[in-house]
Structure 1
Amino acid sequence: MNGKIVCTLLLSCLSLNAAHATAGIQQAPPTTKIDHYAETKYPILLVHGMFGFNRLGGATFGLDYWYQVLPDLARHNATIYASQISPLESIEVRGEQLLDQVEEVIAITGKPKVNLIGHSHGGPTARYIAGVRPDLVASVTSIAGTNNGSPVADLVQSVPILNGTLGIVMDALMTPVINWAQQSNLPSNFKASIYSMAKQGVAEFNAKFPLGMPTTACSDGASLANGIRFYSWTGVSNTTNLLDPDTIFTALGPIAFSGQPNDGLVSRCSSKLGLTVRDDYKWNHFDEVNQVLGLKGLFAPDPVAVFRQHANRLKLQGL
């Protein structure tokens, strides 16, 4: 689950140039190649979470959701794209939007499959594609995915003023602002988005799309299912950098999750999918995608380097 848009809008809209905003899938800019370290067989398509985007603003003055990830992977010869789907919608609606973009990437590259990497709500969204079109998917990687939901979503759904009034505000204001900032016209359904991350909605979705999911609580799932590789990783920190504005969304993690290890919005156990790469990074929910503007704990690993290493992992698997 991803609320960072509140912070990032304040930062990015100061320099926003809507006339040059990027619409549709985002491709890494042309760059000098360093080596072939991240050169996967199939293109990589990144899938953002709730309140997400690919880029707010333009290439010169704008903010990428996957901050610095695309250009870094491109320097290591990855074919890398970022999706643009509804910030607030059900997994199925977002999944159908993503399917169109998967097909677009396949048409552009001439490759028959893609490697999907989803953050937060983007994890189940990527799993939807693996369920409905497994022939188009080489791998699914879930980063702090809401694969078993989030108690934050259950809280919002159980409080009428949050699920009602807040939902109206989000649909009428927040999504239109994101749409304007990235020159899109995507639908919005806050209630459907929350339901898909709450306990009942998650149970219904997982019953339909079980590939890669653990069969026992907080364990790994199948690393290979229906010809698709599954991976996951997550952070388990809440306050990582006092200068980082995203801390206002994650600092109450210890209370919201009743002591369960979590990144402020998603628990360690909920993030599990396929093979666990690592489940104890010293990151909060936004550090995982190198936000905001790369601020993180002083001694925490570099998220961009972790993405690069994972691309190499996929390459070595022939993906």
Structure 2
Amino acid sequence: MDEAFRQLAGGVGLACALAAPTAVQAASSGYTQTKYPIVLVHGLFGFDQALGVDYWYRIPAELQQDGAKVYVAQVSATNSTETRGEQLLSQVRQVLAITGAAKVNLIGHSHGGPTVRYVAGVAPGLIASVTTVGGVNKGSRVADVARGALPPGSVSEAVAAGVARGLSGLISLASGGTQLPQDPVKALDALTTKSLADFNRRFPAGVPTSECGEGAYSQNGIRFYSWSGASTVTNILDPSDALLGLTGLVYGSASDGLVGTCSSHLGQVIRDNYWMNHVDEINHFFGLVHLFETSPVTLYRQQANRLKNAGL
């Protein structure tokens, strides 16, 4: 069993631990009980769990509480979409083998968006639905600016890549994914507008054909959904808001600080203007989100119920 699967199995163990007791089952409303398992996929510099901290803060447990089977994938914190996608595909097959399910529901945040779309493109028969949350579906202006400031082969690129590689290495060490390859330059390239345009030509399912419209709700037997925030500074107690407030300045239109609102669109757009930034979308920093917006945890619960009602 490889290390990535051990991390995945940890999520399986958590799911089973929460689902096993009779009292928990009796209390479950079935609100989130989808037909197919849900697999959560992290974004750039992401992880499943590191030093006891969940990337998806409180989200898996809340979904499991009312009947969902939830698995948290671990892919390279920094690498190309294709590399991350192949890692995810392997874990999806392991989930199917463990559960006996025919398909899974994929939910990807940030770079997890193109990652789950890659798997849906190369193995559509294994996927019931794809949901992207703050997904970089048409590229990130922040990545474009960073790439412009770090020309290929330059000293500045080498220095930045070294720092990013060190950070991703620490993340891998803390999360137990040290065997996963890291390549910050490939990750940066993958998130640019130019690279995503090429990716979308190869994997067009669910991608809007207009600049800021919706895409096909269903293609190749897969349902497509998306939602995102459209704010940068949402809670002054959240230390990540300062950074996202700065990165959001590169946009001339609404964004979550790292991804433009229109770029996040895929398939059925549930909503694209939540008072959330890129970090709020996964309920971090430890739940310090906008006080007057729907809880991010509630959005994931609603999505699970939406999938359930669609027979997925």
**TM > 0.5 fold call:** yes
1:143-181 Cα offsets, whole Å, 9 max, x none, are 01000010110111111265331112211x112211110
How far is 1:253 from its partner? 4.5
How far is 1:117 from its partner? 0.2
Which residue in 1 is equivalent to 2:236?
242
Give 1 or 2: higher helix fraction: 2
Query: Does residue 31 of structure 2 align to residue 37 of structure 1?
Result: yes
Q: Is the 8 A contact 2:248 2:258 kept in 1?
A: no
CA distance in 1, matches of 2:95, 2:193: 33
Which residue in 2 is equivalent to 1:54?
48
Q: 1:69 aligns with which of 35, 51, 59?
A: 59
SS at match of 1:23: helix
SS at match of 1:96: helix
CA distance in 1, matches of 2:103, 2:243: 36
Q: Which amino acid aligns with 1:37?
A: Y
SS at match of 2:271: strand
Which residue in 2 is equivalent to 1:268?
261
Runs of at least 5 residues in structure 1 that lack an aligned partner in the other structure: 1-21
Query: Does residue 153 of structure 2 align to residue 159 of structure 1?
Result: no
Please give the residue correspondences for 1:94-105 in structure 2 after superposition, counting only pairs within 5 Å.
94-105=84-95
Which residue in 2 is equivalent to 1:218?
212
Q: Which amino acid aligns with 1:87?
A: A
Q: TM-score, normalised by structure 1?
A: 0.89
Query: Does residue 72 of structure 2 align to residue 82 of structure 1?
Result: yes
How far is 1:252 from its partner? 2.0
Total equivalences in the alignment: 292
Q: Is the 8 A contact 1:253 1:262 kept in 2?
A: no
Q: TM-score, normalised by structure 2?
A: 0.91
CA distance in 1, matches of 2:157, 2:204: 28
Q: Which amino acid aligns with 2:159?
A: T
CA distance in 2, matches of 1:80, 1:213: 26
CA distance in 2, matches of 1:183, 1:120: 21
CA distance in 2, matches of 1:277, 1:103: 28
SS at match of 2:264: coil
Query: Does residue 172 of structure 2 align to residue 179 of structure 1?
Result: yes
Which residue in 2 is equivalent to 1:23?
7
Query: Does residue 131 of structure 2 align to residue 141 of structure 1?
Result: yes
CA distance in 2, matches of 1:213, 1:306: 22
Which residue in 2 is equivalent to 1:316?
309
CA distance in 2, matches of 1:190, 1:312: 36
1:249-273 Cα offsets, whole Å, 9 max, x none, are 2112442102x11000001000000
Which residue in 2 is equivalent to 1:129?
119
How far is 1:236 from its partner? 0.5
Q: Is the 8 A contact 2:7 2:73 kept in 1?
A: no
SS at match of 2:255: coil
Q: Which amino acid aligns with 1:38?
A: T
1:37-74 Cα offsets, whole Å, 9 max, x none, are 101000000010000000002xxxx1100000011011
Q: Is the 8 A contact 1:167 1:190 kept in 2?
A: yes
Q: Which amino acid aligns with 1:273?
A: L
Q: Is the 8 A contact 2:224 2:266 kept in 1?
A: yes
Query: Does residue 97 of structure 2 align to residue 107 of structure 1?
Result: yes
Which residue in 1 is equivalent to 2:3?
none
% identical equivalent positions = 46
How far is 1:77 from its partner? 0.6
Q: 2:271 aligns with which of 256, 272, 278?
A: 278
Q: 2:224 aligns with which of 202, 227, 230?
A: 230
Q: 2:203 aligns with which of 209, 216, 227?
A: 209
CA distance in 2, matches of 1:162, 1:275: 40
Q: 1:119 aligns with which of 94, 101, 109?
A: 109
Q: Which ranges of 4 or more aligned residues in structure 1 deviate by more than 6 Å? A: none
Superposition RMSD on alpha carbons, in Å? 1.2
Q: Is the 8 A contact 2:81 2:187 kept in 1?
A: yes
